[in-house]
Structure 1
C-alpha cells in the first residue's frame, strides 16, 4: 500500500470517530482540551488495536483465498464505505439525551462501536502487502488527532458536520478499495 493510500485509509477510519467526537463535544459545556485529548487517546488506542485483531483473523484465512484476496479487500472497503455514507445520510428522529460529563466506560464503548469498521479493514489488509503495525499506528494517531479536534469543535459545529465527515470517510474508503483493486489488477 502506498503512503497516500495509507494516509487516506487512516483518515477514513477516523471520520466515524470524528463524527462521534463532535457529538461528545456538543454535549459538554465549554469542553477543555484535557477532556478532548483524553477522549482522543481512548478512541485512538481502541481504533489502533482493532485493525491488528482483524489482520490476525485475515492472516489465518490468507492461504485459502490467495488468488482473490484483492477482491475481498475491495468488497470489504466498498461495503464499509457504503455503510458509512448511509449512516451519514440517514436522519435521526429522536434527540439523544446529552450527558454532563463522559465516563471512561461510555467513551470506550463508543470508541469500540466506531472501530468495528477498522476491524473489518484489518481483515482486508491481511490480503494485501501492507505493514499492519504502520497501518494500525497511522489509524490510531489519525483517530487521536481527529477525535481531539472533534470534541473541541463539537459545541460549535454540532452534528451536521459530523454526518458530512462520515459521508466523506465512506467515499474515501471506497476509493482506497478501488486503488487496491487497480494496483493488483494492473500488476497482473
Structure 2
C-alpha cells in the first residue's frame, strides 16, 4: 500500500470513527452531568474506547454474514439500552438518597459502553465486506471514541456545576432523546 492510499484510507476511517464517536460524545455530555470523579471519567473513556475497538473487530470478522439483519438489530438494541438508561437517570434524579439502578461503573459501565458501541459493530460488518484494513480500523475507531468520550465527560462535568440538581434530569433527557432517535429514525 502506497502512502497516498494509506492516507486516503486513514482519512476515511477517521471520518467514520468521528461520526461513530459522536454518539459517545453526545451521550457522554449527558452522562457527564452526573457527579463523576476524574478516575471514573478516565475508566469510562477507556472502556468505551475498548468497546469501539472490539465491536468493529467482531463486525469485520462477521462482515460477510447477516450484515443487513444485524445492522438494524444492533440499532434497536442500542436505542432500547439508551432509553432504559435515560429513564433510569431521570427517575433517580427525583429519588434523592436512593441508589440509582445503573451507574457508569461495573455492570452499568458495560451497559453504557455497549449501548454506544453497537453501531460500530454494524459499521464493522459493512467494512468487513469491503475489505478494510482490520487493525487500522479498530485502532482508529477505539482511539477516536475514547478521546471524544473524555472530552464530552469533562464538558458535561463543567456544565453540571452550573446546573446543580437539574443536571441529572438533563443528562437523562439527552440519553432518552438519543434512544428515541435510534428507535425512530427521522
Give TM class, smaller chain: 0.5 to 0.7
**Residue in 1 that maps onto 2:148:** 146
Q: Could you list the runs of 5+ residues in structure 2 that have no partner in the other structure?
A: 1-7, 94-99, 161-169
**Which residue does 1:16 correspond to in 2?**
23
Instruction: Pick closer, same or farther for the CA change 1:43–1:59 going to 2, 3 Å.
Output: same
Find the residue that maps to 1:115 and give its secondary structure: helix
Verify: 1:97 aligned to 2:131, yes or no: no
What stretches of structure 1 of length at least 5 have no aligned partner? Answer: 63-71, 171-188
Q: TM-score w.r.t. structure 1 length? A: 0.62
Greater RCO between the two (CA within 8 Å, min separation 6)?
Answer: 1
Trace 1:77-92 onto structure 2 (pairs within 5 A): none
Distance in 2, Cα, partners of 1:144 & 1:96:
28
Does the CA contact (< 8 Å) of 1:36 and 1:149 recur in 2?
no
Distance between the aligned counterparts of 2:37 and 2:149, measured in 1?
A: 13
Question: What's the CA shift string for 1:29-75, capped at 9, x where partnerless?
Answer: xx33322111100111011100010111114579xxxxxxxxx7xxx
Residues 24 and 145 in structure 2, CA contact (< 8 A), matched pair in contact too: yes
TM-score by length of 2: 0.62
